[in-house]
Structure 1
Amino acid sequence: MMIFGAIPLFFMELVLGQFHRTGAISVWKIAPIFKGIGMAECLISYYVAFYYNVIIAWALYYFIASFSRVLPWTRCDNDWNTDRCYTSANASAIPANGSSSTAEYFERAVLGLDSDSGIGHLGAPRWRLVLCLMGVFVILFFSLWKGVKSSGKVVWVTATMPYVVLSVLLVRGLMLPGATEGILYFITPRIDRLSDPSVWTDAAVQIFYSVGAGFGAHIAYASYNKYHNNCYRDCLLTAGINSATSIFSGFVIFSYLGFMAKRENVEIDEVAKWGPGLVFVVYPEAISVLPGSAIWSIIFFFMLITLGLDSAMGGLEAVLTAIKDEYSWFIKRHRYGREILTGVVCGTAFLFALQNVTNAGIYMLSMWDTFAAGTAILFVVFWQAVAVGWFYGLEQFCNDIEQMLGFRPDWYWRVCWKFVSPVFLFVIIVSSIASYNPLVYKTSTAGDYTYPPWANALGWVIASSSMVLVPVVAIWKLSSTPGTWSQKLAVNISPHWEHRAIMSGETKVKRFQVSTYPTHTTSVVFIVKL
């Protein structure tokens, strides 16, 4: 998925942003009919800010709670604990249907989750989480309000700090009993799982999330690069470092999971939880049994905060740059236009995020996480590959790269852009929809929560709200462009520098004919010089 999907489209986005010097919306002056792709990418990034920053707020909550003599999730005598609670100290004698003190702290003390909660009964926002969430958005605002001048400086801390902390945690984790078993579990392949379509869908979503393709962030940041910056090198280095970091962090995590499994005398599968349970239940429990646990906890959650802020800045910068470029007149008219725009985007995202810090907010967060940027991001990236490879044209795109970088992409890039990546994405999109199962959220203290049918329908509305922008904007562009239908179509699938010639009658449209026009290769409709 990385080699044939994420890397080619990552490089494509860097080229688009760096060559055309605009954000994710305005860049589609190369083919206006696909402007909805940029809008969809920005909307998805905006949606992600609703729930991703809540996870950072949880990390901030834990970070503050770690400044105590005894970590609060290591005890069972608190108001939020149940009679089924057990601690890491007595993990060898787990009661029937018992729940760990770390799970009860996360689900009951932090989230306020109980058996009466449900997505239809969210309740009021929890004030402690609201303050943490507000703190996260305030940090993001001051990191972004001056554009890349401010965010670029912050990234020096947020991008490098996790490597230092992970290295320290790995050294400590390798010294624990059971670490070897955990690492072996991590690196031992299970080839039979490749027959499961959900594995491929998860791989695609994960790598696009991890690399960041499809969110508009790379187009935004690349638009600030120098024109001849070697974005090809940047693409390969970033993708390589990204995957190496994932593997490295896997060693760190599974060394502790192996330790937990050995200590509780259970299989690693039973402690290797997915989702927030891994970060906010399993890892705090593993840290709590280490000497000087409070120090380790402070270090770990500080790392999570910096790591989260780094990703959150990229997503919001994609939105800010796209709006700034599309409505540059507003920014130029107002002295503090960038600051006002940043305040509006961060402020509204904060208000929408409040739904996820209520007593049942975890159910809303899980729904946003499943639908906002799952199938939707793959759908948008699919159309991005089609738009560049089949309408803007590979020949023109390769000419842009040669003019900017001094070389033409070889056959691997061409084949991926035109055939392999779109086909891969299309198959994954169809598989993800066909293999969809109604949402179920598993908790340790309140049992499994099955989402009602209307909640699943709402989730698909969220997913569709971004995907529908692609056809809706295409129809709007065709209907609002002056001229005959041939001219409308010709203008909207052509770069902006060809529009004057098209509208003046110097070019005409011929259907299903191989083009000799210098900026295009093949397409459904071709512009042919008279």
Structure 2
Amino acid sequence: MERSKKNNGSNSCEFANNLTATNASATAATTTVSNNTAGTTTSPWSNNKESPPNEDDSNEDDTDNATPAKVTDPLAPKLTNNERVLVVSVTERRRETWGQKAEFLLAVIGFAVDLGNVWRFPYICYQNGGGAFLIPYCIMLVFGGLPLFYMELALGQFHRCGCLSIWRRICPALKGVGYAICLIDIYMGMYYNTIIGWAVYYLFASFTSKLPWTSCDNPWNTAACMPVTNANFNANQTTPAKEFFERKVLEQYKSDGLDLMGPVKPTLALCVFGVFVLVYFSLWKGVRSAGKVVWVTALAPYVVLIILLIRGVSLPGADEGIKYYLTPEWHKLKNSRVWIDAASQIFFSLGPGFGTLLALSSYNKFRNNCYRDALITSSINCLTSFLAGFVIFSVLGYMAHVQKTTIDRVGLEGPGLVFIVYPEAIATMSGSVFWSIIFFLMLITLGLDSTFGGLEAMITALCDEYPRSIGRRRELFVLLLLAGIFLCALPTMTYGGVFLVNFLNVYGPGLAILFVVFVEAAGVFWFYGVDRFSSDVEMMLGKRPGLFWRICWTYISPVFLLAIFIFSFLGYEEMLGTEYKYPQWSIKVGWAVTCSSVMCIPMYMIYKFFFASKGNCRERYDASFKPNTNPGTAIPGQQGTNV
């Protein structure tokens, strides 16, 4: 337990009447409040309801005795008789806030709008009925994705802490959810940055007079290579773009899959290392540094998308591609798979459950309108996916025109779309070098924003949970964390690394995050309670959430998550793809990876109930599953040392 700090050798100090008015030159604020303190000095803690967080609060706390005083300010700290109060260095340990409101919005948009908006949504859309798919997509957004998105923004803003510390205030036994999220974020960092590294490789390869995937006369090409513009091209042959990706960038022919992946490819490792360097210098100083970077990384993709859209719709065959993209097939709406795909796409696109929305919103001011932010950012995310569909399908229509074939024989899903098909189309355009450079710059910025969010979630969580050992040494911690993730990611940079990237994508976050978010939602809506959560929102916004939101939070959103999890669990083999048959031992390892994060939840529940709580079963249950309304801090909204 922290002891009270002493100023100028005195044995006791007076608590400032108003913490927000503390002189900026003070190095600490300390106090004892006597039993006969006069009426207007401080405000007492409420034993049954926690005060809302202060915008200038702190993480590092000390203690002293306190007794009640008269209530004057509803936002001021509340103290009770015989309650030890943690006293803080207000000027030294204030929580950062975003430099501008726009920085927060751009950070959230940048996290939500990722590579999946470009390579997955267009494919899912045309596969599931074209324009008709927009109906289940919008329904799942309104009833499933948006309520969860709004929930996380509100939680982070109210409690002002990351995905670990926040559970003390919601349901202490579910703190394992926070550890599970951190582990999932590590798995994502191990493969997602490698994909960005592929884009970096392509970017540097584009700085030439002739794109290297234009022709078949390169050292890495095989006899089966033939340009798609050749009239004799058939299904038994490969394109220069495909061979460049598989035989030059990845060199996967030098491996035997996961059984023998081969050594690390130095040039690829150098590209991925460059990505980690960019990430470090964007995150090392916290939201103040990240807030400046997102002006570029979040806005640049939109500039490029608009440029590519203008170029795409001017190409021959583009109208056929767009028509193929939008033409509704209403009969497909009878297929349950279409609705599950819509729900999955919304969930993974908005990204609740990764801890990122909690972390980013925790740096907001307390009165910020998080409801409006949720509507704006989620709408922009979905509109971006829709816009990306026009960009992709205008070019696919052009490629079908060039190859004199149908669009369904041209298109690919996932990395193949952006690393093979689209570069293939670019190579046939005039000014191909320019189009290639801006396209891969767009992919890099899309990827960087998402990796910023995932890593910041983990960094914020650990800095809040361990403010003295980690929070004060953020720069060093971020360096060690990224260095560790880079070393763990080295196998993804081997000749067989592409198989591991897909493997980690499925077994790292793929299934586990669905279960984790379901438990998170259950903890907030069923243990903490929708009424209590609604009251928290009312404190911030001055208005209680309507009946629609409360119904969604109580019933619809949990069912939404459970349905996605069940269908994904049943169809996990499809998620691995069919191009490579994963060995049986790897499937077992994959389930172990999934369970490693999922098991954090029951393991911590057992620890909390049987080892970290005292008393009879009822008392242990209350300590484990009821929110801690006295977190032990004189500054509401921040974590301190419980006394």
TM-score by length of 1: 0.90
Picking from 580, 587, 591, the partner of 1:460 is: 591
Q: 1:191 to 1:41 in 2, by over 3 A?
A: farther
Shift of 1:45: 1.7
| Matching residue of 2:274 | 135
- Aligned twin of 1:514: none
Give the Cα–Cα distance (whole angstroms) in 1 for the partners of residues 176 and 395 of structure 2: 45
1:269 aligns with 2:408: yes
Q: 1:324 to 1:466 in 2, by over 3 A?
A: same
**1-structure distance, mates of 2:229, 2:235:** 17
Structure 2 distance, partners of 1:88, 1:434, is 38
Offset at 1:204? 3.2
Deviation at 1:498, TM superposition (A): 5.6
Equivalent runs, 1:95-494 vs 2, <5 Å: 95=234, 97-114=236-253, 117-194=256-333, 198-331=337-470, 334=472, 337-437=473-573, 441=577, 448-480=579-611, 481-494=613-626
AA at the equivalent of 1:6: G
> Per-residue deviation at 1:196?
5.1
1:44 maps to amino acid: I
Contact 2:312 2:391 (C-alpha < 8 Å) held by counterparts: yes
Answer yes or no: is the 8 Å Cα contact 2:255–2:495 preserved in 1: no
Output one character per residue of 1:447-497: Cα deviation in whole Å (capped at 9) or x when no partner.
Answer: x32111111222222122111111111111111212222111111111212
The alpha-carbon distance between structure 1 residues 331 and 352, as it changes in their structure 2 partners (threshold 3 A), is closer
Distance in structure 2 (CA, Å) of the matches to 1:147 and 1:173: 39
SS in 1 for 2:257: coil
Identity %: 49
Question: Is the Cα contact below 8 Å between 2:502 and 2:576 reproduced in 1?
Answer: no
* Larger helix percent: 1
* d(CA) in 2 for partners of 1:69, 1:427: 51
What is the one-letter code of the residue matched to 1:150? Answer: S
Take 2:220 and 2:525, find their aligned partners in 1: how far apart are those partners? Answer: 56
* Letter aligned with residue 310 of structure 1: D
How far apart, in 1, do the equivalents of 2:343 and 2:631 lie? 37
Secondary structure at the counterpart of residue 289 of structure 2: helix
Q: Tell me, in whole angstroms, the C-alpha distance in 2 between the residues paired with 1:304 and 1:82.
A: 28
- Structure having the higher Rg: 2
The answer to whether the Cα contact below 8 Å between 1:15 and 1:222 also exists between their aligned partners in 2 is yes
**Amino acid paired to 1:385:** A
Q: Which residue identity is paired with 2:539?
A: Q
Secondary structure of 1:228's aligned partner: coil
Q: 1:111 to 1:499 in 2, by over 3 A?
A: closer
Q: Partner letter of residue 601 of structure 2?
A: V
Q: Bigger CA drift: 206-215 or 129-138?
A: 206-215
Structure 1 CA distance for aligned equivalents of residues 266 and 226 of structure 2: 28
Q: 1:438 to 1:231 in 2, by over 3 A?
A: closer
Q: Residue 57 of structure 1: which of 183, 187, 197 is its match?
A: 197
Local SS of the residue matching 2:430: coil
Superposition pairs for residues 489-500 of structure 1, below 5 Å?
489-497=621-629
Contact 1:11/1:231, CA 8 A, preserved across alignment: yes
Q: Is the 8 A contact 2:255 2:261 kept in 1?
A: no
Per-residue deviation, residues 373-393 of structure 1 (Å, max 9, x unmatched): 222111111111111111001
Q: Which runs of 5+ in 2 are unaligned?
A: 1-139, 633-643
| Greater mean alpha carbon deviation, residues 116-125 or residues 218-227 | 116-125
State how far apart, in whole Å, the 1-side matches of 2:270 and 2:178 are: 33
Q: What letter is aligned with 1:414?
A: R
Which residue number in structure 2 is paired with residue 31 of structure 1? 171
- C-alpha displacement of 1:66: 0.3
Is the Cα contact below 8 Å between 2:535 and 2:544 reproduced in 1? yes
Is the 8 Å Cα contact of residues 438 and 456 (structure 1) preserved in structure 2? no
- 1:66 pairs with 2:206: yes
CA distance in 2, matches of 1:395, 1:143: 38
Q: Distance in 2 between matches of 1:467 and 1:192?
A: 38
What is the CA-CA distance between 1:194 and the residue it aligns to?
A: 4.4
SS of residue matched to 2:580: strand
Task: Answer whether contact 1:13 1:218 (CA < 8 A) is retained.
Answer: yes
Q: Structure 2: how far apart are the matches of 1:329 and 1:141?
A: 21
Which whole-Å CA distance do the structure 2 matches of 1:272 and 1:89 have between them?
16
Stretch moving more, 33-42 or 203-212? 203-212
Mark the CA change 1:49 to 1:102 in structure 2 (over 3 Å): closer, same or farther: same
Aligned to 2:159: 20
Distance apart, 1:183 and its partner CA:
0.8
Corresponding position of 2:148: 9
Aligned AA (2:561): L
1:253-307 Cα deviation digits (max 9, x unpaired): 1100110011101111111101110000000001011111001101111111111
The answer as to whether partners of 2:255 and 2:496 remain within 8 angstroms in 1 is no
Q: Establish whether residue 44 from structure 1 lines up as the match of residue 216 from structure 2.
A: no
Cα distance in 2 for partners of 1:40, 1:175 equals 47
Over 3 Å counting, the alpha-carbon distance change for 1:259 and 1:470 in structure 2 is same
Q: Displacement of 1:190 after TM fit?
A: 3.3
Alpha-carbon distance in structure 2 between the residues aligned to 1:368 and 1:194: 31
Q: CA deviation at 1:436?
A: 3.2
Give 1:202 shift.
Answer: 3.7
Residue 115 of structure 1 deviates from its aligned partner by 7.6
| Separation of aligned partners in 2, 1:32 and 1:238 | 30
The alpha-carbon deviation at position 203 of structure 1 amounts to 3.1
Once the two structures are superposed, what CA deviation does each residue of 1:350-380 show, in whole Å capped at 9, x if it has no partner?
Answer: 1111111111111110111112122211111
Deviation (angstroms), 1:5: 1.6
Tell me, in whole angstroms, the C-alpha distance in 2 between the residues paired with 1:293 and 1:499. 59
Tell me, yes or no, if the aligned pair for 2:459 and 2:478 is still in contact at 8 Å: yes
Would you say the 8 A contact 1:197–1:435 is kept in 2? Answer: no
Give the match for residue 527 of structure 1: none
The answer to whether the 8 Å contact 1:8/1:417 transfers is yes
Distance 2:254 2:270 in 1: 25
